[in-house]
Amino acid sequence: VGRGVMLVDVDFGGSMSMQARTTGISRWAGACGANVTLLIDLGSKVLLFPKESATAHVILTPETAKPLEKLSICLRSYTEVTRQYSLFSLASPGRDNAFLILQVPPNICSVSVNQEGHNFKTDTEVLDWRHTCVSWESETGVLQLWVNGKLYPRKTIQKGFAIPSPTSIVLGQDQDSFGGGFEAAQSFVGEISDVHMWDYILTPEDINKPKLQCGTRLSQHIKVRTYVVPSRHYFSRYVDQQHLEDKSLIFPRQDDYSYFILKPEEPKPMSSFTVCLRSFSELIEYSLFSLATEKESNALLIYPMPVNMVYVYVDNEEIRFKVDEGLYEWKHTCVSWTSETGVIQLWVDGKLYPRKVCKRGYSFPASTSIILGQDQDSFGGKFDKNQSYTGEISDVHMWDYVLSLEKIQKVHLNEFSGNVLNWRSLEMQKKGDVLIEPKILSRSSRMKNLVVLLIKGYRVVFARATGGEISDVHMWDYVLSSENIHKVLLKEMNGNVLNWRSLKFQSKGNVLIEPDVSTIEYRGNNKKYYPCCLTLRMNGYLEGNVFLFPEQNDYSLVTLKPVESKPLRKFTVCLQSYSELAKYPLFSLATHTHFNAFLILLLPGSKVYVYVGNEEIYFKVDLTLIEWKYTCVSWDSDTGVVQLWINGKRYPRKVAKKGFTFPASTSIILGQEQDSFGGGFDKNQSFAGEISDVHMWDYVLSPEKIQQVLIKKLNGNIFSWRSLHYEIKGNVLIEPSLQYI
């Protein structure tokens, strides 16, 4: 037994049998001070690197020495190191970083091939075991990184290179020379296990096999899928009517010369459009879709920006959407616009964000230049590397009309194709260093797409503590495929054991059978537009519609008229709102003596301020995403108790203005905060977004009644959304409600 040296001949389960030589790790070897050669099975073992060191390392020796033109490496690691460290180091004579996996916490994995490095931005590390797989092939240069079964945006590196033999493969250290040159500051501290290496590219199915994940042997006869795609700088060609289903466009790096030109099926003027596409990128600022005309370079541009923003340009007018923070996953983005009203909509992963308005009356000419991968600063050119795209794009479709909510969901499921651009028969021109590769959605991405539909589409249950609703119950005596699951979500498939459309049942107790109001149909003819300073007085049924406030200004508002004007000593107000603003007035009621007689004001830091008789109280509420909020506020003069409910949750009660009475003469306004009776508006205190389902009562609602309001089964008696008398001033639209209840 020698000092800290152990030779281990191990089959790591790939196409290579390896010999591992450990130095400075084994406690028993270090204690005995002698040399020993052993054959052991590492199937249930880990390599433990207990402390920072310039000597402790493991040398892996392939069974056969040969040049490598493709490889896959997988291993598990567990560490609490916060500095950069080497995870896997392969050197050849004259190339210390012939192949290196270097981890840079908290969320960078750097991979080098033949001294050239690429950084992958990953999800932030947690203190847990991490399964890392890296593959590379010389023929295309495609470099892939998988972490815990998730594929990150692919890169290209060292196309045409072959890793020469002999090689020195080391775990625990970064080789700065062939087999040596170690530094403690680059060493690994922690545990490594389940190390595998192959001389071919693993398929996604291989990567996600439980046997591989557990470190048991992978079959020698696995079907190998390699990617054969010619690519070189400035290579250009047309692909006529190419069927790109299950394919992905890969932009390996940011530059000013790589892009795809898309050709419409029939060039013609457009006064409406919808564009949908999937994207996967680690950038935070990039051009996603660029359409230019001869007069305007930003005729249509979709441009994600930090922090959690998406900019959309129509005829060079900029509109900003604030979106939810997301992981590094595939995103499905849809943008629609119509000239008739100027309404522009953004959907991300099936979720509609607050609508905006721009360029009403504009029309796109027939002659356009449509480009993926670059931002056009002139018609068809003038690119900037810093505005270019890197990552993957797939499923690009475009229509010459605005898609309904139902059609958006079908596009999300790849069940509806564009009539201007169609991914399944796309004519395009390819330029520069771009690839067409098989599309690979990670398991988490596929599950996310399904969850979005389960939660937000084709609703089944209203879950409340005091009750709820159930619908569309089906049961089968077999396991449904993913295709059948999607059919069920679209109500196109019925159960063979239980079928909601021909169900035998008995009900006991307090159970009702009511109409299903879960799916709001898109009624495109309901659009109305009211220009600035025009007053429209209406008394209408607004069910299924919203007031859309496209922008903040000091002149757009809706005035509400009570059914009966009378003094109030108690009341409840409920309404739904959807906005990306951090600060805005939700409901403003003024009297001649109190401008903030009753005001609901949302402020940053998850605070809701409520004013009663000019007295201010505030509620601390839960942090929420950009979602529809159902807000109810009640007040009782006898006790002064003020209650706030958001989405059915009541927050701790407060007390204000006990004994106060609201006079009969009031001014009730949506969209602005009144600093005088019926006026005194300030743009910075205005509302932008959508408001719906506004009700008011002259009494305090019970918790049971609040729940009835949430499911649209109770109407206000001072004013009701279903028979509302109102006046519109300025730029306010009435649009169909596209929310899911």
Q: What is the b/e burial string over 151-182, where b = at least 16 CB atoms within 10 angstroms of the residue's CB?
A: bbbbbbbbbebebbeebbbbbbbbbeebbeeb
Residue 505 DSSP class: -
- Give the SS3 label for residue 478: coil
Q: Where are the beta strands (DSSP E) in 478-594?
A: 528-530, 535-540, 545-549, 557-561, 570-578, 584-590
Residue bearing the bigger pLDDT, 344 or 504: 344
CA angle 246, 231, 260 (to 5 degrees): 60
Count of C-beta atoms within a 10 Å radius of residue 294: 13
CATH of domain 5-213: 2.60.120.200
CA distance 719 to 735: 20
Count of C-beta atoms within a 10 Å radius of residue 85: 23
Q: CATH 2.60.120.200 in the chain, residues? A: 5-213, 236-443, 524-736
CA distance 340 to 671: 23
- Give the SS3 label for residue 612: strand
* Bridge partners for 431 per DSSP: 236, 259
CA distance 85 to 258: 33
What is the sign of the dihedral through the CA atoms of 274, 279, 284 and 287?
negative
Contact 673/599 with Cβ under 8 angstroms?
yes
| Max Cα distance, the chain (Å) | 98
Q: Element (H or E) spanning 706, and its range?
A: helix 703-710
CA distance 671 to 577: 11
Q: What is the predicted pLDDT for the residue at 327? A: 67
Torsion angles phi and psi, residue 484, rounded to 5? -70, -35
Q: What is the predicted pLDDT for the residue at 235? A: 35
By C-alpha distance, which of 239, 243, 264, 260 is closest to 399?
264
Contact 65/153 with Cβ under 8 angstroms?
no
pLDDT exceeds cutoff 70 at 482: no
Mean pLDDT, the chain, rounded, equals 81
Q: What share of the chain is helix, strand, coil (3-state, %, to 5)?
A: 10, 40, 50
CA distance 91 to 174: 9
Confidence of residue 509 (pLDDT cuts 50, 70, 90): low
Calculate the alpha carbon distances from 687 to 59, 108, 243, 631, 696 in Å.
64, 40, 46, 15, 20
Count of C-beta atoms within a 10 Å radius of residue 626: 20
Each residue's pLDDT tens digit, 411-427: 988 889 999 999 988 88
Cβ burial, residue 676 (10 Å; 0-12/13-18/19+): exposed
Contact 125/81 with Cβ under 8 angstroms?
no
Does the domain made of 236-443 have the CATH classification 1.10.150.110?
A: no
Q: Tokens 């495609």: give the residue.
A: 142
Torsion angles phi and psi, residue 489, rounded to 5? -60, -35
Q: What is the mean pLDDT of residues 377-406?
A: 93
Q: What is the predicted pLDDT for the residue at 500? A: 84
Number of alpha carbons in the 13 Å side-chain half-sphere of residue 40: 15
What is the sign of the dihedral through the CA atoms of 708, 714, 717 and 718?
positive
The pTM score is 0.57
- Give the SS3 label for residue 705: helix
524-736 CATH pick, 3.30.70.270, 3.40.50.1360, 2.60.120.200, 1.10.510.10: 2.60.120.200
Each residue's pLDDT tens digit, 80-120: 888 999 999 999 999 999 999 999 988 899 999 999 999 99
CA distance 622 to 606: 6
Each residue's pLDDT tens digit, 593-648: 999 999 999 998 889 999 999 999 999 998 777 789 999 999 999 999 999 999 99
- The alpha-helical segments, DSSP class H, found in 387-479 are 405-412, 443-456
pLDDT exceeds cutoff 60 at 27: no
Q: What is the predicted pLDDT for the residue at 156? A: 84
pLDDT exceeds cutoff 70 at 176: yes
Counting residues of the chain whose pLDDT is more than 70, the rounded percentage is 80
Q: What is the predicted pLDDT for the residue at 721? A: 94
